[in-house]
Structure 1
Amino acid sequence: MSARKPNVVSLFSGAGGLDAGLERAGWHVSVATDFAAPAMATLRATQAVGVPVRGRAATHLDGTRLIEADVQDLTARDLRPKGSNSVWRPDLVVGGPPCQPWSSAGLQRGLGDPRGQLIAHYLRLIGELRPKFVIFENVRGLATARGATGTPGEVLRSIQDDLYDLGYSSRVATLNAADYGAAQRRVRVILIASAEHVLPLFPAPTHSRHPEHGLAPWVTLRALLESLPEPDLDDVVRPTGKRADALRKLEPGTGIKTNGRVMANRPSGQWGYRQDAFRADLDLPSRTVRAASTPDWIRMEGDSDIRRLTWRECAALQGFPAQWQFAGTASQRFVQIGNAVQVDVAEAVGRGLLGALRKGEVSEGTLAPVLPADLEERIRYTIAEHKTNGHLRRRTTASDQSKAVAS
């Protein structure tokens, strides 16, 4: 361990948020791969300019082998260092298969979406590579996603069961980026696993909305934006069209409402805010940064009008260094940024695993998979809610899919 940095094989790397956080924590990404050409162009451009790793005498992705390929076509041989034999094992395999099949912002088709099948290839490569540790990241919706029998929570349980069959113990948690110093309320499912090491606990929060016990207060969107340079005028989007007046009248922390949908336990209708028509509250961390070119509206002191958050500001909310070289069109950059793992969370999780790796192997046998109490409660709620309103959701989903096909 003293002669080299522990290595990482990064699958579904995207723009490199998980990789950036892990390298801050002290890991080295030996290989990173993704199928999306704009994301791989971002990694190549970032590697070329040599972005400094905060707090370390190193640059991100230094010496990292970048592979643009479909994970379905990859084998362990493709991911091992050149010249190594089949005995070589990575210290860590990481990745977050595409989240759209489980995301509330999508159609939530789950395993019915071809992208939902990519989890199987992630697990296949873990079986082939036999890493010492594993990190799996995905949207919170995965925690209650239905599998083959239609039972909420089945997909996450099956991932843990498959890892158990491979000899890996695992832990699962939902982590909020705002609790780790990010100016963004972004909750994600994180799974860590190991076959030979004692798994650490998930990192304790450093920040809180209601700080106590020495925790710092959440970092606000206002504080983050005030720390950044003025946005490029070419990146600024102001409201236009027939909804412009309605957008300007919004109070911070509110948006234009969607149509209410009457349900058995919501007689006044279930409604939310249009994802493209919400005005951010500057005195809170931002809402979750999405993979769309319609982020929230803001109005800073001294501004003559409201505007959308720029893609550079969204990248900062995701924790990317200012020098990170995002490639592609503005729309493609928003997609890469919104799909990325938040860097501060990745760093916090990475530090915990690095500490466990340095303690050395401690055989304790493979522990049976267990979900934390908060996720078990969320699954129970989903089952009960589905019994009450499931028929309405199925009808709406079918309608949404028909519209998607028609478009």
Structure 2
Amino acid sequence: MVTEPTSRDRRRWAQYLVNERAEARVYRELAERKVGHEHDILRSLADAEGRHEAHWLELLGGEPASLPRASTRTRMLGWMARHFGSIFVLALAQNAEGRSPYDDDPHATAAMAADEKVHQEVVRGLAARGRRRLSGGFRAAVFGANDGLVSNLALVMGIGAAGAPPQFVLFSGIAGLLAGALSMGAGEFVSVRSQREMLDATEPGEFAAGILPDLDLDANELALVYRTRGMGADDALARAERVLERARRADAAAPNTDPVSVGDDHDVVGSAWRAALFSFLCFASGAIIPVLPWIFTMSGLPAVILALVLVGLALLGTGAMVGLLSGASPLRRALRQLLIGYGAAAVTYLLGLLFGVSLG
């Protein structure tokens, strides 16, 4: 026996309807910026949202006279799709698809609930490409900005707590900015360059064409080379036999390297110069914030309070961005960043108070 839907049911269906329409619009807008298979994938996601929309329209008996607004998260997705890069939108969409209410709604079909789970994995795969492109420079940018925020806040608060005059606090803050930014940039350059050199040393080598025909087909030690590159024993043996067979048939002057692709880890590491520049600029941009009150001739407790507020807002922003791009809760990451930053500043401030008392 089919029960008559309640007004609450109809309101919920109407909300699902507008959310599905908004999400389909987001995927279509993202698809317009892409080409090739990424364009096709995003259009397919939009079509799937359209099928879900048709389901709720059928339950509602047609287009309702009035519809609610889309959810805040869905409206944010649409706004970001129009104004920002796809990586931010896809990261939010991944979270949204993972929180689908269809698992617990008796009026949603099992196919719709399964679709949402698959959509989450599809969006995760699309977002992963952007995350890999961002990883090197983004890591340096986040670490640099947070290091600048926390270290320079701790520096000026510690010096201020010790009773130093405002001019000395300002000078110390600017000196800390320059020293930290140069150190961060140089350290990041050395770190990334060293990692790239290590990856270069692990790249597959090539075989001289002349040695392949001389290898023992029965022992076939060439198969060991392919096994070290990630292939299974049977696949490695079959690959080695094909290489040796071609080498024996081919002209000795023809190259027979047949390398195994192991992926491009260099894209994940990023450029050393870009990472160094990002670290320098982001440390400097973070380190200047705690000094701003003293730059504008403030002093004493008002300057300290304003510095805390400005740095707190910046920490919340960087933490939320990290959470967004990592697929985690932006609020949780923002609060974690804030607590870590304020904790370090509080310890330094207390040390400054003790130092000031001991000098007095």
Using structure 2 for the length normalisation, give the TM-score.
0.20
Task: Give the structure with the larger helix fraction.
Answer: 2
TM-score by length of 1: 0.18
Higher strand share: 1
Q: Which structure is larger by alpha-carbon Rg, 1 or 2? A: 2
